[in-house]
Amino acid sequence: MDGAERRARILAGQHLTCPAPPPAVCRDLDGVQAQFLSAALHALAIRGGPAEPDSLVKSWTIRGTVHLFDPADLPLFLHRGRDRALRGVDRMEGDEYITLERKRYFAGVILDELAGGPRTREELRAACAARGMTGREGESVFNSWGGLLRHLAETGRIVHTVSREKGFRLCPPFTPMEEGPARLELARRYFTHYGPATVRDAAYFFGRPQREVRAVMDALPLERAQVDGRDCFWLDRGEGDWPEIPDCLFLAGFDQLMLGYRKEDGLFLPAEHLRGIFSLSGIVMAPILLHGRVAGRWRRQGARVELTPFGSWTAEDRRTAERAAQALWHAPAVWSAG
């Protein structure tokens, strides 16, 4: 196997060349990262078509980040024994802003409000303020990086609404999986749809030490091959052929194709372009994949699409990207120097 075949296999496994319905994409990819909902919806759309928001849920899962996923996977993502590395404000305990007793009280207020239907974050804040929450207490309850809302989500009582407005609703009922079977299933999906991948790739994706990843890998019937000097592993899907690598793809911000592999190893993202996609502030910008390699980034600018090329593009490369933008959005492309 060479690098081109590895990329073709991965693009198929990630449904970028083998489309699937959004719930199936979410299942196969271990969720779709969704700090920015518009990016997550674009990631699903390019893999199989528009998502019906009511068919998905949104919560903190892998690496402690927010993902879209199938409600049937609540037992998997919220499995028992998860190592969540939560702060005091994200747990049901007293912290620097609020006592345990008051935190429990406002948890009840929030759950009572959501019993009447979905509420926005600001509606929940107003309800708590009306019941006596001080500004300092709100620093914990509505902490910008989680807070009491995260605790309620992590314990399976609420989920984010899948909408452009930041909101929450009660979580559908479920029974959490045990830790061992859950970790095995997450790894099975990873090596089926992200493979061929290295141990370092999997450790990066799951945010776990390599020794833990290897222990789970040992329980899977993985195939193995060396590609460009690296040991790669995958679960065979019984396929012997893969669609050709597309000339041009407009990936999403925080796309799973970027987050699924150790970013320094350069499978799809050449090292010289790393900071063009992964900013030092933690933002993962939307890449342009040209002939299977990141060669620029894009963003919507009103009715237009702004394209920023990395390095030298030929005139044909530019025409290819412009045609792809027109086909995807029916919008003209404009070029930026970055």
18-66 tens-digit pLDDT = 999 999 999 999 999 998 999 999 999 999 999 998 899 999 999 999 9
Query: Would you put residue 243 in left (φ > 0), alpha (ψ -120 to 50) or beta?
Result: beta
282-297 tens-digit pLDDT = 999 999 999 999 999 9
From CA 153, how far away is CA 225, in angstroms rounded? 40
- Which runs of E-coded beta strand occur in 90-146? 119-120
Q: 300 forms bridges with which residues in the sheet?
A: 305
Q: pLDDT class for 89, splitting at 50, 70, 90?
A: very high
Is 70 exceeded by the pLDDT of residue 162?
yes
CA distances from 325 to 129, 304, 321, 330 (A): 47, 9, 6, 7
From CA 60, how far away is CA 66, in angstroms rounded? 4
From CA 182, how far away is CA 178, in angstroms rounded? 6
Strand order in the sheet with 158-160: 32-33, 66-69, 57-60, 158-160, 167-170, 119-120
Per-residue pLDDT, 338: 65
Rg (CA), the chain: 21
User: CB–CB of 150/86 below 8 Å?
Assistant: yes
**Mean predicted confidence (pLDDT) in 212-240:** 94
Instruction: Write down the mean pLDDT value for the chain.
Output: 95
Per-residue pLDDT, 239: 76
Q: pLDDT class for 241, splitting at 50, 70, 90?
A: confident
Q: What share of the chain is helix, strand, coil (3-state, %, to 5)?
A: 45, 15, 40
Per-residue pLDDT, 323: 96
- If you ran DSSP here, which 8-state letter would residue 278 be given? B
- What residues have CB less than 8 Å from 96, skipping those under 6 apart? 88, 89, 140
Is 90 exceeded by the pLDDT of residue 83?
no
301-313 tens-digit pLDDT = 888 999 999 999 9
**Mean predicted confidence (pLDDT) in 248-277:** 96
Is 70 exceeded by the pLDDT of residue 166?
yes
Which residue intervals of 167-314 are DSSP H helices?
Answer: 179-193, 199-206, 210-217, 256-259, 274-277
- If you ran DSSP here, which 8-state letter would residue 92 be given? S
From CA 326, how far away is CA 298, in angstroms rounded? 13
Query: Would you put residue 31 in left (φ > 0), alpha (ψ -120 to 50) or beta?
Result: left
CA distances from 275 to 69, 213, 223, 269 (A): 28, 27, 33, 10
Per-residue pLDDT, 314: 96
111-157 tens-digit pLDDT = 999 999 999 999 999 999 999 999 999 999 999 999 999 999 999 99
Is 90 exceeded by the pLDDT of residue 240?
no
Q: 304 forms bridges with which residues in the sheet?
A: 301
User: CB–CB of 243/292 below 8 Å?
Assistant: no
From CA 202, how far away is CA 209, in angstroms rounded? 9
Q: How many Cβ atoms are within 10 Å of 158's Cβ, its own excluded?
A: 24
**Element housing 112 (H / E):** helix 100-114
